[in-house]
Amino acid sequence: MHLNLLFKTLLILIFPIFLYSQNIEKEPVKLIKTETIEQVQNTQVPESSNLPEEKAVEAVEKSPVERQIEEQNKLLEEVVNNINTEKYLKPSIDRTAYRKEISLLTNKININRIQKNTLAVKRDELKRLYLKQEYDYEQTLKSIIVAKKEYKDKKYFEDLIENRLKELEKTLKLIEENEKYYKEEEKSVNSISKAFTENYIELHNQTHTQIFIFEYLSNNISSFRVTNFFLDEFNLQYLINQIDSIYGIAFISGLTSYHFKFSIGQIVIVIFIMGLLRLLNLKIISVFANLIAKFFVRQKDADSETIREYLKESINTPLKYSLYLLGIQISVFILVDDPELIDKIMPWINTTYMALLTWGLYAILNNSISIYAHNLLEKYPNVRKEMIVFILRIIKIILILLVILFLFTQLGIDIKAIAASLGVGGIAIALASKDTLANFFSSLNIMTDNSFSQGDWIKTSDVEGTVVDIRMRTTRIRTFDNAMITVPNTELANTPITNWSKRRVGRRIKMNLGVTYDSKMEDIVQLKKDILNMLEHHPGIASSANTKSGQTRIFEAIKQDDLIGIKKTLLVYIDSYGASSIDILIYCFSRSPDWEEWLITKEDVLIKLEALVKKNNCDFAYPTQTILLKKDEEVVDLVSEKLSSMS
Contacts of 563 (CB under 8 A, 6+ apart): 550
Q: Mark whether 523 and 489 lie in a shared domain.
A: no
pTM of the model: 0.47
353 vs 329: CA distance, rounded Å:
11
**pLDDT tens figures, 339-386:** 888 888 888 888 888 888 888 887 877 777 766 666 666 666 666 666
Distance separating alpha carbons of residues 58 and 73, to the nearest angstrom: 20
- Indicate the angle between helix axes 264-283 and 302-335, nearest 10 degrees: 180
Residue 83: name the closest of 231, 225, 232 by CA: 225
The burial class, CB within 10 Å (0-12 / 13-18 / 19+), for 584 is buried
Alpha helices in 411-472 (DSSP H): 415-432, 434-449
Instruction: List the domain range (segments joined by +) for residue 190.
Output: 25-226
Higher pLDDT, 127 or 43: 127
Mean pLDDT for 517-546 is 88
Residue 452's pLDDT band (cuts 50, 70, 90): confident
Based on the domain organization, do 274 and 308 belong to the same domain? yes
Is the pLDDT confidence value at 645 over 50? no
CA distances 176 to 171, 201, 207, 560, Å, are 9, 12, 12, 87
User: For residue 230, what are the contacts with CB-CB under 8 A and spacing of at least 6?
Assistant: none
Which amino acid, one-letter code, is at 239?
A: L
Predicted local distance difference test score (pLDDT) of residue 643:
42
Q: Is the pLDDT of residue 639 over 70?
A: no
Phi-psi region of 227 (alpha: psi -120 to 50; beta: other; left: phi over 0): beta
Say yes or no: 297 and 176 in one domain.
no
Q: Please check whether residue 64 lies inside any domain of the structure.
A: yes
Beta bridge partners of 589: 508
53 three-state secondary structure: helix
Among residues 404, 434, 464, which one ends one of the domains? Answer: 434
Which has the closest alpha carbon to 471: 386, 397, 399, 388?
A: 386
Identify whether the C-beta of residue 205 lies closer than 8 Å to the C-beta of residue 31.
yes
Is residue 111 located within the same domain as residue 140?
yes
4 pLDDT band, cuts 50/70/90, is very low
Task: Quick: pLDDT tens for 590-625.
Answer: 888 888 888 999 999 999 999 999 999 999 988 776
- The answer to whether residue 139 sits within a structural domain is yes
Report pLDDT digits (tens) over 87-119. Answer: 888 888 888 999 999 999 999 999 999 988 988
Same domain, 419 and 481: no
Report the domain count for the chain.
4
**Is 640 a residue whose pLDDT tops 50?**
no
Residue 223 DSSP class: G
Q: Provide the pLDDT for residue 42.
A: 40
Q: Is residue 152 part of a domain?
A: yes
Strand partners, 511: 586
Q: Are 493 and 589 in contact (CB under 8 A)?
A: no
Q: Is residue 13 part of a domain?
A: no
| 67 and 115 together in one domain | yes
Q: Give the separation between CA 226 and CA 153, rounded to whole angstroms.
A: 10
Q: Answer whether residue 122 shows pLDDT above 80.
A: yes
243-295 pLDDT, tens digit per residue, is: 888 887 888 888 888 777 778 888 888 888 888 888 887 777 777 777 776 66
- Same-domain pairing of 188 and 258: no
Confirm whether 516 is domain-assigned: yes
Average pLDDT for the chain: 78
Residue 477 sits in a domain whose CATH number is 2.30.30.60
Chain-centroid distance of CA 487 in Å reads 33
The torsion defined by the Cα of 94, 96, 99 and 101, in degrees rounded to 10, comes to: -70
Residue predicted with more confidence, 302 or 458: 458
Decide: 623 and 644 in contact? Cβ < 8 Å: yes
As a whole number of angstroms, the distance between CA 290 and CA 43 comes to 81
175 domain residue, yes or no: yes
**Same structural domain, 153 and 243:** no
Question: Does any domain span residue 20?
Answer: no
Tell how many helices (H) and how many strands (E) occur in the chain: 23, 10
